[in-house]
Copies of this chain bind each other. A is one copy, B any other.
């Protein structure tokens, strides 16, 4: 990293040149924050595309080779593959490198970093840009992917505060709305507002599909169903990893959900129409308030 400009990098190594990795490289280049980008990936075809898109300048055969002399490294591989990448690159990392990941769950990668990174643990700033799209892969990468998107940084006590500050500035510079939280809080938060809804949508869809008359039922489904189940179409590979790496929080919050469902079923069985209405009103008012607050937050950016 050049001392003259804290946000200028000489060599960025992107490990995993898909939608997120490719978009990050494009965004860094577009912002003029990096001189050279080296790409690492399992598929030669994919790396060729990344080069053709201008996301990377060159590719190298291994992650360990790619990170040599890099002052910025982005690990953009699936969460479950991240630990072996960290293990592979550890010995080759520069002493002052800023090392980040982009995984959707954070306790798992932080635990892996603690196990693996040793002397380079302070260089690691765990990151989660909330910037998925329906389509994945390098061909959908774009320099503007992170613009106005939330980016969560989840530092631990060992994280170098100077590198954390640089990471914060860097994501802001490419358009992100950066927030910091603990890995634990991150995973609990996203279990609540993202992972559990996905689990419920998957389970709900399977329960309809599994019904003997399911196909007939589905023909009658309308706009409410469409919106409620949209996330059930999510990518199985991505969501297997998320549900697995965040299983503890997801199961805990699924239990809370079951209690809320129990409460409903109890008053329905009891025939307490006033209590049914009260439970619905709590949800309905809460959702209406969220909608207003959410609109305000977005427009207030």
Interface residues of A (CB under 8 A from B): 80, 130, 150, 185, 188-190, 192-194, 196-211, 213-214, 216-222, 224-237, 239-240, 243-244, 247, 250-251, 253-254, 256-261, 263-265, 268-269, 271, 273, 276-277, 279-284, 286-288, 290-291, 293-294, 297
Contact = CB atoms under 8 A, between A and B. Distances in A.
A193 B222 contact: yes
Given A203-B261, A205-B283, A206-B279, A130 B222 contact: yes
A187 to B, nearest CB: 11
Contacts of A286: 205-206, 209, 232
A268 B172 CA distance: 36
Interface of A is mostly: helix
B193 A264 contact: no
Given A193-B218, A232-B283, A233-B288, A254 B261 contact: yes
B260 A204 contact: yes
A148 to B, nearest CB: 12
Nearest to A193: B221
Given A268-B251, A283-B205, A288-B233, A194 B260 contact: no
